Amino acid sequence: MYSAKVNMEIIKNDILEAVFQIDENYAVVSGDERIYQLLGDNTLYSFNKMIHPDDLKGFENYIESDEIGEPYIARCLIKDKLFRWISFYKMSINHNGMKRLVEIKAQNIVAVCDRFDDYFRKIVKYRNIMNQIKDKQFEYNFETGFITIYCYTNNKSEIIEKDSLKDWKNRMLRLGFVEESAVDSFDMLCSNIENGMDSFSLTFETSLMSKGERKDTLNFRGQTVKDGSKKILVVGLISELGSRMTDKQILVNSEEGTKDSATGVLNKKTVQNRIRDIIKKSKDNQHDELMYLVIMDVDDFKRVNDTYGHYFGDEVILEFAQTLKRTVGDRGIVGRIGGDEFLALVKDIDTVDDLKIIMKTVRKTLEVKMADKQPGYHFTISAGASRVGKDADNFDDLFKIADAALYIAKGKGKDRYIIFDREKHGAFLKETLKNGHTVYSGGFMKPMEKFEMAAKLIIAAEHKGKEAIGEVFYELMDKLNIHGITVYQGNDCHRVLSVGHYQNVIEDAGYICDEHYISTFNEYGIKKVNNVASFAVDFPEIFQKFTGSNICSTLQILSGKQPEIKGMFQFDTFGENRRKWNDDDINVVKMVVSALEDVFAEV
């Protein structure tokens, strides 16, 4: 067994376990939301850099081996900057193209042990509760293929049926315990159990519980328990409804008419009504719990259908809906309110960071999953959120504010979420909402205004030459939220001009001569970097240069075309003000750069 020496100087952490994938460079490729809760921004760095030096060699040997099944225990640096003892378990080794991907489950050892006693006490409590439940219970074990039906008496389970699912199904049909009119429903029940549906509810008449003595109207409700992506058990309840249940109650219980047929999440009417009820109850009961209304949609979805076809578009919507529903889980409800637009109420969270992690998990999970299915497609979503109680106390106003926040997210470049804050967004929003969208004021430019600005700057550059450089750069900085601009020229790409308050100016950009780095520019000679921490794995020296200069985001545009590159224009933001460069801003900057290339050739 792989192991590292363990001592008792261990500090607890709330995150018990997380599942994630790393590639051959130890970069975290994807993971569930718990890995981001556990590591925070450390997920941007090579994972092996978080392992304690004394445990590193053994950890790397463990990851690089093809052996699966034995855990490795090591100290890992998590987001609170302290080392925790973690048990790493390789779940699978896959190859995505040329990349070797290792799926790992990480468990916080002490937290798991600490909670064992809590879980045991809960088991005792729930056994006592189950003693009071009249409903029968059932479970299906995927490993054995057996279904067990039982009830609890005196804190012990009494088995009513235990057989393989297939044999139990055939026996119930052969003995006539399932009415002819209910055979289809019984078949669907068995299929849902065998296939491990996330949740299901079916009601039909049968005598299987009474062994043929009487007909009962039984409702089977179940859900599937998973360990990561692996299905473990189906568990559920069997309620005897009999003549007490009306046709209307059966309809409600089976939730017919409440689901969106294409995705399985709640439909527009149902999700809106349920959210209204939750918000009203919270207000009536004067609960001060943290709840957010979130509206989100797929960026450029029309382009997805036009480029990859409607079949793939439908697949994107389905994956989005299911991933969102699975990630939100029992912390809220999710519904589809339009073609690619979804609505969620997220509650039972402790801080706004929990909401951010949920959104990040959905985006990262789908980014990887959709890239696997369609390598040319880069999945992104935009979202707007409003806080229940703080921003408004009724559904209609909360919806308008969240929709306004979504509109800002789209305007600021998509691929982001905006959690509405009156102080933070006061420069962008007026209090009055018109036509369902926000009227922008001061500081925010519409796309047409940006292109009009670009045209004026190009004319200024053509007429004034080098005298217009300062005017052009400061106008771009002021209108497009750019903190600094640097121009590099010559074979060694040395700095010829900088504007803005750089902490330490980078004097040369000779690294663009590196074939690996230059290959990251697109066909138009443009490279956008929303977070320079992405350099840490592949370009650590460049990463050091940028962090030393306090640069957090950058847009680089080459002057000249390969192989005759004459220099580079670089547009930066500083500190923690990371930005996501949107297409409009990039196009405007590129147009202005094209006009300035000739000007700098004369400088």
* 37-73 pLDDT tens trace: 877 777 677 888 889 999 999 999 999 998 887 889 9
* Per-residue model confidence as pLDDT tens digits over 402-418: 888 888 887 777 788 88
Q: Which domain holds residue 488?
A: 447-602
Q: Is the pLDDT reported for residue 336 higher than 90?
A: yes
CA distance 517 to 511: 7
pLDDT of residue 318: 92
Amino acid sitting at position 148 = T
In what helix (H) or strand (E) does residue 406 lie, and over which residues does it extend?
A: helix 395-411
Comparing 28-42, 517-531, 540-554, the range with the smallest average pLDDT is 28-42
Lowest mean pLDDT among 147-151, 287-291, 396-400, 503-507: 287-291
Asked whether residue 260 is domain-assigned, the answer is no
* 56, part of any domain: yes
Mean pLDDT of 324-343: 91
- Which residue is listed with tokens 């034995």? 70
Report how far residue 80's alpha carbon sits from residue 78's, in angstroms, rounded to the nearest whole number.
6
Tell me, yes or no, whether 229 and 369 share the same domain: no
Does any domain span residue 477?
Answer: yes
Report whether 131 contacts 155 (CB < 8 A).
yes
Claim to verify: residue 404 and residue 296 sit in the same structural domain: yes
In a domain, 262, yes or no: no
Query: In this structure, are 503 and 381 located in the same domain?
Result: no
Instruction: Please compute the mean of the pLDDT values over residues 266-289 and round it to a whole number.
Output: 87
Q: Pick the last residue of a domain from 440, 471, 490.
A: 440
Q: Is the pLDDT of residue 12 over 70?
A: no
* Alpha helices per DSSP H over 493-553: 515-518, 535-538, 540-548
Residues 164, 100 within the same domain:
no
Mean pLDDT of 289-318: 88
Average pLDDT over residues 366-374: 87
Helix (H) or strand (E) holding 103: strand 99-108
Specify the DSSP element, H or E, that contains 464. Answer: helix 447-464
Using 50, 70 and 90 to split pLDDT, how confident is the model at 261? confident
345 is a domain residue: yes
Yes or no: say if 220 and 254 are a contact pair by the CB < 8 Å rule.
no
Domain count, the chain: 4
Residue 247, pLDDT > 50, answer no
Which residue would you say has higher pLDDT here, 355 or 445?
A: 355
Specify the pLDDT at position 281.
87
Contact present, 425 and 408 (Cβ < 8 Å): yes
User: How much is the mean pLDDT over the chain?
Assistant: 83
CATH code where residue 217 lies: 3.30.450.20
* 286 and 247 fall within a common domain: no
Residue-wise pLDDT for 97-148, tens only, equals 778 899 999 888 877 777 777 777 777 777 677 666 778 899 999 999 999 9
Q: Which of 415, 440, 465 is the last residue before a domain boundary?
A: 440
509 and 463 together in one domain: yes
The verdict on 272 and 420 lying in the same domain is: yes
| Distance of alpha carbon 130 from alpha carbon 151, whole angstroms | 8
